[in-house]
Structure 1
Amino acid sequence: MDYDLGDDAGSLRKHLRQLISDHIPPDFLGACTDDPQDLAITESFCKLLASEGLLALAWPKEHGGSGGSIWQQTVLREEMWAHHEPRGPQYMGINWVGPALMRYGTAEQKAKHLSAIASGEVVWCQGFSEPEAGTDLASLRTSAVPDGPDETGWRITGQKVWTSYAQMASWCVLAACTHPDAPKSQRLTLFLIPMGRAGITVRPISSMLGPHHLNELFLDGVRAFPDEVLGEPGDGWQIMRAALAFERVGIARYARCESLLDRMQTHLGDDWDQLPESIRARWVRALADLRVARLLAYRAVSLRDDPSADAAASAARIAATTCDQQIAELLFDVLGPSALDGGGTAALRGAVEDHWRYAQAATVASGTIEVQRMLVAHEVLGGHR
C-alpha cells in the first residue's frame, strides 16, 4: 500500500518543526510534570497553533477548523507526538471529543463546544473507566437516575478512575448507566458535564507516570440536564466505541519512537560502532516494526468511515503500543544504568527514562491490548466466531 500524505506534507512538517523549535524548550517532556510552567507552555502553544489554523487543522471550517485533509492532520499528529505532545491535554479534545460532537452532538452542543476546542480555550477529560469496569466499560456502575419535576434530567452518582487531566479540565465526557436492565450495549448514556458543577470531587492518583496526570473522579448526586446528553439516552456504548477508535488512531506513538531512535544514534556518535551486534540487530528490527506500525496507522486513518474502522484502529494500536515497549527496553539496554537518571544531565535530557515509564502503561490505556486483539479477531473471523 502507498499512502500519499499530499504535496504539502513536507512543507507542513518543516513548518511545525520550526514552530516547536521556536516555542518549546529542548528539555520539554510534556504538560504533566512538577513544573506548572510546562502546562503554561502547552496552553500558549495551542493558542499559537489555533491562530495559524493548525490546532484543528482537519476540522470543517464551520466548526472552527481549517478544512484540511486527514493526511495533513496525520502529519500534525506525528510531529506533535514526536516532540512530547506540546499541545498537552488538548489532543483529547481535538482527536476525539470534537469529532464525536460533530457526529452525534446537537446543533446547540456543536455551537457551544466546538469553537472553544478549536481555539485551544478549554480542556476536556474522559470519565469512562471505573474501579471494577476498566476493560469492560459496558458494565460500569456509575448511575444516572431520572431527576426533576418532570424527570427529564438526571442525578449521577459513582466513581471514575484513571481520569487523565481531570484536575485541569473544564469539561468531562461522562459515561453513566441510565438503563440498568437493558442489554449491555444499551445501558449507557454519555453526558457533557462542566467540571465545576456541585458534587464533583477530583483526587490525584500517584503513579509511575509522574505528577498531575491520573485522577479519581467522585460524583455525588451531580445534576445533569437534558441538553447535556450526547446522542440519545442509551446510545452511550455505540458513541464510546467510535470515540475510542478516534483516540487510538490519534496518538502517533510510532513517531515518538522513531524520534528517540534518531536522537539516540546522534547522541552516540562514534560510539554507535561499539554497540554489541545483538543490540544493532534489535535496532534494525525495531525500525522495521515501526514502519509496520506507521502503515497500520495510515490504513486505520484511510478507513475511518468504513465498517472495519474499529478493527483497523485496534490493529494499529496493538502495533504502536508494542513498539513503545520494544523501543523503551532497547534504549535502556543501550544506555545501561544511566538510563534511570531522569534529570537534565541524562541522555536526551531524560526523554528515554520518561518514555520507558509511559511505555509500561501503553498496552493498558485506551483499552487493554487483550481487548484490542479480541476486536481484531472478531473482525477477521467474522461469521466463523
Structure 2
Amino acid sequence: MDLSLGPDAARLRGELRRLVAEHVPAGFLGAFTDDPADLETAQKFCRLLAERGLLCPAWPREYGGWDASVWEQTVVREEMWAAHEPRGAQYMGVNWVGPTIMRHGTAAQRARHLPPIAHGEVVWCQGFSEPDAGSDLAALRTAARPDGDGWRITGQKVWTSYAVMAQWCFLLARTSRGGRRQDGLTVLLVPMDAPGVEVRPIRSLLGPHHLNEVFLDDVRVGADAVLGEAGGGWGVVQEVLSFERVGIARYARCERLLQAAPPVLGGAWDDLPADLRGRWARMLAHCRRARLLAYRVIALQAEGRVRPQDAAAYRIAVTRLDQESAEVLMEIAALDPGGGEESRLFRRRVEEHWRYSHASTVASGSTDVQRILLARALLAAR
C-alpha cells in the first residue's frame, strides 16, 4: 500500500503542515488548557481552514466541502491530531455529527446544520454517557416524552466534552419502553441555549472546557429535533460510534512524537538502554499497524459499509498504542540530558500526550466493550 495516499493527498499534507507552522505557535498543546489564548488560537485556525475549504474537504460542495476523497479528509485528520488538534472542538462536528446528519437527516436538518459545521461556526457536544450508563449505553435513563408536536426531555449526561462552549448537543434519550433495552431510544438535536439546560464543568487532568455534566430539566424541543426515526436511535448511534472511533488519528501523534525523539536527544540517543530503544522501535511498528487498521475502516465506510467490529479492532489497537507509546516516550524524555528550548518543548508534548492517553481506553466505549463487539462478530461469522 502507498501510505502517502497519492499526489493530491501529499500536496494537501504539505499545505496543512505549512499552515500549522505559520499560524499555530510552536508551544501549542491543544485548545483546552489554562491559557485562554490557546482556545483563541484554535478558533482562529479553524476559521482559516474553513475559509480555504480544508475543514471538511470530502463533504459535498452543497454542504461546504469540495467533493475531495475520503483519503484527503484522512490527511486532514492525521495532520491535525499530530499537531495537537488546532481545530479545537470542531473535529466532533466534522468527523461524525455532520456525516451522520447527511445520512439520516431531513433536507431541512441538513440545510440547517451542515453549512455552519463546514464554516467552523458551531460547536457540537455529545449527550450519550450518564452516571449509570457509560459503556453500557443502553442503560441510559434520560427520557423524552411526547408533548404536542414535540418532546420534553428530562435527565442527566456526564463526561460531555465541550458542553460549556457548544451550541448544539447530539443527544440520545429514551422515548419508549418495551422489548430490548436498545429499542425505544431516539437521537435528538438539542440547542444548548434551550430553557432547562444546565452545564456544570468537571475539572480534570485534561484541562478546563473539556468535560462537563449536563442537566436537562423539562427541556422542550420540536418534532424537527428527531434525527432519523423516533425509537430508531440505537442503529444511528452504532454508525456514529464507528465514525467517531476512527475519527481521531491517535497513531499520527504517537508517530510524530516517536520520530521526534532521536533528533531531540542527538548524540545521547545511542546512550539509551538497548531495551528502551527496542520498545521505541516496536511502538513505531504498532503505529503502522494502527494506521492500516484505520485505513481499512475508512475504505469500508467509503463503500457505504459501516461495521462496528472493524472500528472496534482499530480502537483496541490505537488506544493501546496511545498508552504504551506514552510510557515509552516518558522514559525517553526523562533521560534527555538537553536543557534547550527544543528539549523542553519535547518534554511538554510528551507529558501532554501521557495525560490524554489515560482516558483513551475509556472514551468512546471502553476496551472491554470493544473486545465484546469484536468477539461477537467473530463468533457470528463462524
| Unaligned residue ranges in structure 1 (runs of 5+) | none
Q: Deviations over 1:66-98 (max 9, x none)?
A: 110000111111100000011010000000000
Q: Per-residue deviation at 1:36?
A: 1.4
Question: Structure 2 CA distance, aligned partners of 1:93 and 1:264?
Answer: 33
Given residue 297 of structure 2, which amino acid in structure 1 is its aligned partner? Answer: A
Are 1:288 and 2:285 counterparts?
yes
Q: Deviations over 1:286-310 (max 9, x none)?
A: 1111110110000110011454632
From 227, 237, 241, the counterpart of 1:240: 237
Query: Hey, what does 2:362 align to over in structure 1?
Result: 364
Matched with 2:46 is: 46
With over 3 angstroms needed to count, the CA separation of the structure-2 counterparts of 1:195 and 1:24, relative to structure 1, is same
Report matched runs for 1:114-133 at 5 Å.
114-133=114-133
8 Å contact from structure 2 (residues 268, 336) kept in 1: no
- C-alpha displacement at 1:337, in angstroms? 8.4
CA distance in 2, matches of 1:115, 1:347: 37
Task: Return the letter of the residue paired with 2:141.
Answer: R
In the alignment, what sits opposite 2:70?
Answer: 70
Contact 1:104–1:231 (CA under 8 A) maintained in structure 2: yes
TM-score by length of 2: 0.95
Relative to structure 1, the CA distance from residue 338 to residue 133 in structure 2 (aligned partners, 3 Å threshold; closer, same or farther) is farther
Residue of structure 2 equivalent to 1:352: 350
Root-mean-square deviation over aligned CA pairs:
1.9
Q: Tell me what 2:219 maps to.
A: 222
Aligned to 1:98: 98
Q: Is the 8 A contact 1:93 1:124 kept in 2?
A: yes
1:188 deviates by 0.6
- State how far apart, in whole Å, the 2-side matches of 1:175 and 1:344 are: 45
Counterpart of 1:157 in structure 2 is: 154
- What are the residue-to-residue correspondences of 1:108-187 with 2, within 5 Å? 108-147=108-147, 151-187=148-184
Tell me by how many angstroms 1:152 deviates.
2.8
Q: Report if the CA contact (8 A) 1:192-1:229 is conserved.
A: yes
1:138–1:185 contact (8 Å) kept in structure 2: yes
Q: Structure 2: how far apart are the matches of 1:152 and 1:114?
A: 24
Amino acid at match of 1:190: V
Residues 82-129 of structure 1: CA distance to partner in whole angstroms, max 9, x if unpaired?
Answer: 000110100000000000000000000000010000000000000000
Tell me the alpha carbon deviations over residues 294-353 of structure 1, each in whole angstroms, 9 at most, x when there is no partner. 1000011001145463211111111111000011100111123889xxx99834161111
Aligned residue in 2 for 1:262? 259
Q: Deviations over 1:136-173 (max 9, x none)?
A: 111200011111xxx33111111000000000101001
Q: CA deviation at 1:183?
A: 2.1
Percent identical: 57
Alpha-carbon separation, structure 1, partners of 2:149 and 2:342: 55
Partner of 1:22: 22
Between the two proteins, the alignment pairs up a number of residues equal to 379
Answer whether contact 1:57 1:73 (CA < 8 A) is retained: yes
Query: What secondary structure, in the 3-state scheme, does the structure 1 residue paired with 2:263 have?
Result: helix
Q: CA deviation at 1:182?
A: 4.0
Gaps of 5+ in 2: none
Alpha-carbon shift at residue 6 of structure 1 (Å): 2.4
SS of the equivalent of 1:71 reads helix
| Range with bigger deviation, 306-315 or 370-379 | 306-315
The 1:214–1:261 alpha-carbon spacing in structure 2 relative to 1, beyond 3 Å, is: same
Q: Secondary structure at the match of 1:131?
A: coil
- Aligned equivalents of 1:374, 1:123: Cα separation in 2: 32
Contact conserved, 2:320 with 2:361, CA < 8 A, in 1?
yes
